[in-house]
Amino acid sequence: MPDAVEVEDVTRVFEPRKKKDERVVALDEVSLTIPEGEIHGLLGPNGAGKTTLVKILSTVLLPTSGRARVCGHDVVEETKAVRPLIGIVFGGERGLYWRLTGRQNLEYWGALYRLPPAAVRERTRTLLERVGLADRADQRVEQYSRGMKQRLHLARGLIGDAKVLFLDEPTTGMDPIAGREFRTLIGELKGEGRTILLATHDMVEAETVCDRVTLIDRGKIIATESPRSLGHVISRFQRVDVEGAPEPVLGRIAALEGVSAVTRTEDGGARIEVSEEGATAEVLRRLVDAGVTSVRTSLPSLEEVYVQLIGERGLEV
Amino acid sequence: MRGFLAGFGLELRIVRAAPDALMPLLTAPLFALVFLAIVRQSGRADLEADALLAPVLMTLWWVALQHAGHLITGDRWQALLEPVIATPTSLATILLGRIAALMGLGLLSFGEVLIVGKLVFGVGVPFEHPVEMALTLLATAFATAGTAIAFAAVFVMTRNAYTFTNSLSFPLYLLGGVFVPVAFLPGWIQPVSSGVFMSWSADLLRATVKRDGIGDFWSRLAMIVALGAASFLLGRLILFHVLARMRAKGELATV
């Protein structure tokens, strides 16, 4: 049985439209495999290439080079075979007919997936209940809050009973409760055997619902692992928490090669962060030599890994 | 067929929710009154029926140009084009359904001008050849729909489509001979007009209200259908290439 999603050396270059613009390499020889039934997170900052990859897999954008397949079907050559199998949810408030009701929107999209009219009506009703919009189903979308529109987007992605779902920032605008319900829904969809590619900025979301995550930055894949073991993959980013370390010792450790930061904690201890393979051993040796015995090493959280790998570049994209 | 019906139903629902697409139905009776006043002033009672039929053709064209022509552009700006393309139904099928709904609404203008003509001037359209008239109107709606698909595909590639559509209406009314028959135009324009389906529609529609027999009805009707089919095929072709280009360049969505 083929993997649900196979991406092989996909590159996507956007040529400049005007002479003064620059050529943009949105994806640079990206390769990725997602087995059937997996929930896969795609993490990266703005401009990393997440949406570009989702669009290529959704058949709405062509890769410059490389191949991508969904359930064994090429997304460029076999769009007719791919499209009935996929559902897409793009973030943001657009993408719905605002002057129609939520129900009318879903019925339209259901018909485009060639469902019989009775099945469209039944599926629309079920999905509106599932995303918590049953009471507002006959209200115009323009009267919906941002979070409600996002939930309707999600329902639209599910109306075709897709085997593979591409969700691009699906919780944008949702309040925390709705976000939690969304994560529950994702779990249910996994239980139904669907494969989900979830492009997100939300580390909690990725850590909670994803079987594996891929970190992507500037069009290149940095790492692919389970959220919990990603810290092991990049073990060079270990951290050492100490108690009772004298200030001069911490000062000397801070000057060591491979130590990225030494910060005081609120309880009077200190956290030493390393960024090079082997630096942890040297830090521990120095601490023991200085008579510091209350030492604990740990791996960074997904968010810390993300920040370390992607870099704290603020608003720069 | 489901895609066509989905597009048809969608457009009816959109128009019901936002009736601005029906604006031409407000202007059709006014045009009818203007034209009737002109022929009355000229003492040409024989042209009264023509004065009532011209606004019907104008309405169809106006709906095609101003609304159907902008369907893809509108969807693109609302970030609806990408999800539509990603469904198993072809955009051309959906578009045809949506345009058919608009054409159906445009044909309501026929009823309007009948009512206005009767109420204001006490004149009506003589139904000398009702079946031929109905067939001509349907063929005209089909040809207009075909042309609208071509417009929709072209307009999505242009930045100033509205300027283009505003300036394209009256030349077509002239070339199409919607009120003044093409035979009255300068000789050098007439060959151009013969390539415009509307000129065949207008002439044939006017012939259906005359008591005389309609010469070559079927071949003239076939010409309207053929020109409409050619527009439709051309529209499909343009749409195919435009969508392929947009997929390649990443232009299906606006940022």
CB contact under 8 A, A97 and B10: yes
If DSSP states are collapsed to H, E and C, what string results for A24-78?
A: EEEEEEEEEEECCCCEEEEECCCCCCHHHHHHHHCCCCCCCEEEEEECCEECCCC
Residue B202 tokens read as: 């207008």
In a domain, B244, yes or no: yes
Q: Using the beta-carbon criterion (under 8 Å), do A83 and B9 form an inter-chain contact?
A: no
- Identify whether B99 is part of a domain: yes
Q: Does A119 touch chain B (CB under 8 A)?
A: no
Amino acid identity, residue A177? I
C-alpha distance from residue A194 to each of A77, A109, A158, A163, A189 (Å): 23, 19, 10, 5, 6
More confident residue, A226 or B224: B224
Q: Do A94 and B79 touch (CB under 8 A)?
A: yes
The residue whose two tokens read 């890769």 is A63
Q: In this complex, which of B3, B82, B247 lies closest to A112 when CB atoms are compared?
A: B3
φ, ψ of residue B41 to 5 degrees: the values are -60, -35
Which one is predicted more confidently, A304 or B199? B199
Contact yes or no for A11/A66 (Cβ under 8 A): yes
Read off the pLDDT of residues A176-206 as tens digits, 9 standing for 90 and up: 887 788 888 888 888 888 999 999 877 777 8
Please give the pLDDT value at position A233: 56
Cβ A207 vs Cβ A197: under 8 Å: no
Chain B: residue whose CA lies nearest to A96: B80
d(CA A152, nearest CA chain B) in Å: 13
Q: Which pLDDT score, from 0 to 100, does residue A231 have? A: 56
Residues, chain B, total? Answer: 255
Look at residue A125 in the predicted model and tell me its pLDDT.
Answer: 95
Question: What pLDDT is stored for residue A315 in this prediction?
Answer: 44
Strand A24-34: give its sheet, edge to edge.
A24-34, A5-14, A65-70, A73-74
Q: How confident is the model at residue A228 (pLDDT cuts 50, 70, 90)?
A: confident
* Residue A182 touches partner B, C-beta closer than 8 Å: no
d(CA B135, CA B133): 5
* Per-chain mean pLDDT for chain A: 86
Q: How many CA atoms are closer than 13 Å to the CA of B141, on its beta-carbon side? A: 22
What's the confidence (pLDDT) of residue A302? 67
Q: How far, in Å, CA of B100 to CA of A266, rounded?
A: 70
CB contact under 8 A, A60 and B79: no
Rg of the Cα trace of chain B? 19
Domains of chain B: total: 1
Residue B141 falls inside a structural domain: yes
Q: Which residues of A touch B250 (CB under 8 A)?
A: 12, 14, 52, 55, 61
Output the six-digit token pair for A207.
Answer: 């850590």
Residue A68: is its pLDDT beyond 80? yes
Residue A74 has pLDDT above 70, yes or no: yes
Contact B86 A88 (CB under 8 A): yes
Residue B255 lies in a domain: no
- Chain B residues within 8 A of A99 when measuring between CB atoms: 14, 17-18
Classify residue B8: in a domain, yes or no.
Answer: yes
Taking an 8 Å cut-off on Cβ atoms, the answer to whether A58 and B94 are in contact is: no
d(Cα A97, Cα A104) in Å, to the nearest integer?
A: 9
Q: What is the model's pLDDT at position B255? A: 58
Tell whether B254 is covered by a domain.
no
Does residue A61 come out as left (phi exceeding 0), alpha (psi in the -120 to 50 range) or beta? Answer: beta
Per-residue confidence (pLDDT) for residue A276, from 0 to 100: 79
Minimum-distance CB partner of B86 among A86, A94, A104: A86
What's the pLDDT at B9? Answer: 93
**Segments forming the whole domain that contains residue B64:** 2-249
Which chain B residue has its CA at the smallest distance from A65's CA? B248
State residue A311's pLDDT score. 61
Q: Which residues of chain B have pLDDT under 70?
A: 255
DSSP 8-class letter at A1: -
* Chain B CB within 8 Å of residue A104 CB: yes
Contact criterion met (CB < 8 Å) for A111 and B18: no
Tell me the whole-structure pTM to 2 decimals: 0.81
Does residue A91 surpass a pLDDT of 60? yes
d(CA B107, CA B50): 16
**Distance between CA B113 and CA A172 in Å, rounded?**
51
pLDDT value, residue A308: 66
pLDDT, mean of residues A4-26: 88
Model pLDDT, residue A67: 95
- Check residue A56 and give its pLDDT: 95
Concatenate the DSSP letters of all residues of chain B into one string.
-HHHHHHHHHHHHHHHHSGGGGHHHHHHHHHHHHHHHHHHHTT-GGGHHHHHHHHHHHHHHHHHHHTGGGHHHHHHHTT-HHHHHTSSS-HHHHHHHHHHHHHHHHHHHHHHHHHHIIIIIS-----SSHHHHHHHHHHHHHHHHHHHHHHHHHHTT-S-HHHHHHHHHHHHHHHTTSSS-GGGS-TTTHHHHTTSHHHHHHHHHHHHTSSS--TTHHHHHHHHHHHHHHHHHHHHHHHHHHHHHHHHHT-SS--
Q: What is the pLDDT of residue A80?
A: 93
Name residues whose C-beta falls within 8 Å of residue A192's C-beta, 6 or more positions apart in sequence. none
Helix (H) or strand (E) holding A261: strand A259-264
Which among A15, A92, A109 is the nearest to B79, CB-wise? A92
Of the candidates B203, B153, B147, B149, the one whose C-alpha atom is nearest the C-alpha of residue B175 is B203
- Choose the weakest-confidence range: A55-69, A212-226, B226-240: A212-226
pLDDT at A134 over 80: yes
CA-nearest of A265, A266, A239 to A253 is A239
Counting residues of chain A whose pLDDT is more than 70, the rounded percentage is 91
Q: Which among B2, B78, B252 has CB closest to A60?
A: B252
Per CB-CB distance under 8 Å, the chain B contacts of A52 are 250
pLDDT at A136: 93
Determine, yes or no, domain membership for B124: yes
Question: According to the model, what pLDDT value does residue A317 have?
Answer: 43
Which H helix or E strand runs over A287?
helix A279-289
What whole-number distance in Å separates Cα of residue A308 and Cα of residue A217?
Answer: 12
Q: Is residue B127 part of a domain?
A: yes
Token output for B144: 């207009």
Separation CA B117–CA B52 (nearest Å):
7
β-pairing, A73-74 vs A65-70, is antiparallel
